[in-house]
Amino acid sequence: MTSREIGRLKPSPRSYHWLFVWGVLNALLAVGIVKRGWGHGVGMMIISSALVGGYMFFIDISHKIWWTADQIWWRGWDYLAIKPMRHTVRIGELTEVTAANHPGNFVPGKPFDRFLLVSRADTITILPSFHRREELEDLLRLIHEKRSEAFTDPQVLEFMDGGFAEWWRYR
């Protein structure tokens, strides 16, 4: 088993969307305060907005995925987790690499919103829009070289060949 890290997924510009949303909400709050004055509950609104926006941004940028020649690791926070979660899969034990669509994120015409790296022991979920495409393609090619039989979904192969660029173009 090799323990030297050979790759890591880097965050895409989309990772910073909650920071943008947080900025817009606080700008709207500031405009409201200027127009209406400092009324009852405004301080609580500002504190709540800062906490919720900061928490969502923290969750989105906290996911880390890295790999060696033999294993893939995922570490991050879930929305309701008290401590970081960790998942690990061995490339040689992967049973399925597939694209999936979470029902809560459904957008008409969007083919999928995540990749699942499934083994008997664990599953790693990768959200393509939160990572740069080159590194994700490198990881998928590495897996394909070692476990091509695990690629049961043609959408994953199409993504590796440059498909779906209108949805996941982050470089």
- Of the listed ranges 27-41, 77-91, 112-126, the least confidently predicted one is 27-41
pLDDT digits (tens, 9 = 90+) for 51-105: 877 777 777 778 899 999 999 999 988 777 778 899 999 999 999 999 998 877 7
Statement: residue 144 has pLDDT above 70:
yes
Edge-to-edge strand ranges of the sheet holding 7-8: 7-8, 64-67, 71-76, 85-90
Whole-structure pTM value: 0.79
pLDDT given at position 90: 95
